[in-house]
Amino acid sequence: MGKKILGLALCSLLLAPCFSAKAQQPAKVRKIGSLGTRPASGPSSGSEVIRRELNALGWVEGKNIVFEPRYTEGKLDRLPALADDLVRFKVDVILTSTTPATRAVKKATLTIPIVFLTSGDPVVAGTVDSLARPGGNVTGFTSISPAIAGKRLELLKETVPKLSRVAVLWTRRQSEQSWKQSELAARELGLHAHSMEVSDADQFVGAFKEATRAGSTALAVTPNPLTHTNRNLIVELAVKNQLPAIYPDFRWADAGGLMSYGTDQSEPYRRVASMVDKILKGTKPSDIPVEQPTKFEFVINLKAAKQIGLTIPPNVLARADKVIK
């Protein structure tokens, strides 16, 4: 009996390091790739909101997740190479911030989960089968809502009561759906929508001149990568041409734009972080419906109004979620 006890004790001692090593094995570090236009900084930036949300869900950067960002710096021709790079790096999920980026990643991989955050319609773009059942390896959040284009024009008309012709700045393949929605909404409001289509930053100055020559007395800007990366120039041109303008989100008003109406900026990133969490825990992208915004915010910049000699009507001012003085 003594020998048996001694044998069991020796076995226990020999096996103990194995069990100890197994218990002390570090958790697998998951790689989160991303493909965007340019890096953003600050506590309210999308990347920081996603980091905070993932942290709250138990994903700690440097401990069990690492981020692998790639940026085009505004050069769309770099998308295929950057998408291939993320695939070669064997990331566990890829975040995309534009429709062209989503297409590039989808072309590069049919297996790595893709989560997009875009202003376009993913069904029209062909990146998902439907919002409820995205199919394949792609899901995400789209800030597009049929009501947004109409709401922007409605706010413009209330701000400029005599408005009859409004220029809509858009880009083919990036915000064509927004243009169509704006055109339809303009007709319903008794407005004429002037198509201010551009495909390159060099065309902005000429597009503004043409819009004013055509009699446009206000401007609505659609969200897309080209307008986003040229935000300051567009705001400057709107002021120079004395055009009351409404923009896609609060960042435009912060940059000196007159008004903005769009998705609450933290909501999309929180929802995307939740999707990433589900995917890293085993849920397939095809089982996660594409989400749309539920919160919107209206911002007015009174400094910008003063610059163009515009008085904001009290009823419009009262509806603002934020007023910049």
Query: Are 133 and 201 found together in one domain?
Result: no
Question: What's the pLDDT score for residue 129?
Answer: 95
| Prediction pTM value | 0.75
Range of the domain at 313: 146-263+297-324
50 touches 269 (CB < 8 A): yes
Q: Are residues 63 and 178 in the same domain?
A: no
Same domain for 128 and 254, yes or no, is no
User: In angstroms, rounded to a whole number, what is the distance separating the alpha carbons of residues 262 and 293?
Assistant: 9
At 275 the pLDDT is 98
Q: Are residues 74 and 192 in the same domain?
A: no
Residue 163's Cα: distance from chain center in Å? 30
For residue 39, the model assigns a pLDDT of: 82
Q: Name, in order, each residue with C-beta under 8 angstroms of 19's C-beta and a sequence gap of 6 or more.
A: none
Q: Considering the domain boundaries, does residue 6 fall inside one?
A: no
Rg of the chain, C-alpha, whole Å: 25
Q: Is residue 13 part of a domain?
A: no
| 290 and 152, same domain (yes or no) | no
pLDDT by 10-residue block (mean), the chain, 325 residues = 47 48 65 89 80 96 96 90 97 94 96 91 89 96 80 96 95 81 94 95 96 97 88 97 95 96 88 97 97 92 97 96 95
Which tokens belong to 25? 């094995």
Residues in a beta bridge with 262? 297
| Co-location of 211 and 304 in the same domain | yes
Whether residues 119 and 157 share a domain: the answer is no
In this prediction, residue 224 carries a pLDDT of 83
Same domain? For 157 and 240 the reply is yes
Q: Would you give the distance in Å from CA 232 to the centre of its chain?
A: 18
Determine the pLDDT at residue 125.
83
In a domain, 188, yes or no: yes
Q: Is residue 2 part of a domain?
A: no
Residue 65 within any structural domain of the chain? yes
DSSP E strand boundaries for 123-274 = 138-142, 165-170, 192-197, 218-221, 245-247, 259-263
Are residues 256 and 312 both part of a single domain?
A: yes
Report the number of distinct structural domains present in the chain.
2
**Are 109 and 168 in the same domain?**
no
In this structure, the answer to whether residues 160 and 212 fall within a common structural domain is yes
Residue 51 lies in a domain: yes
197 and 320 in a single domain? The answer is yes
Task: Report CA torsion sign: 231, 116, 167, 302.
Answer: negative
Residue 318, domain member (yes or no): yes
- Per-residue model confidence (pLDDT) at position 130: 95
CATH number at residue 184: 3.40.50.2300
Does 170 reside within a domain?
yes
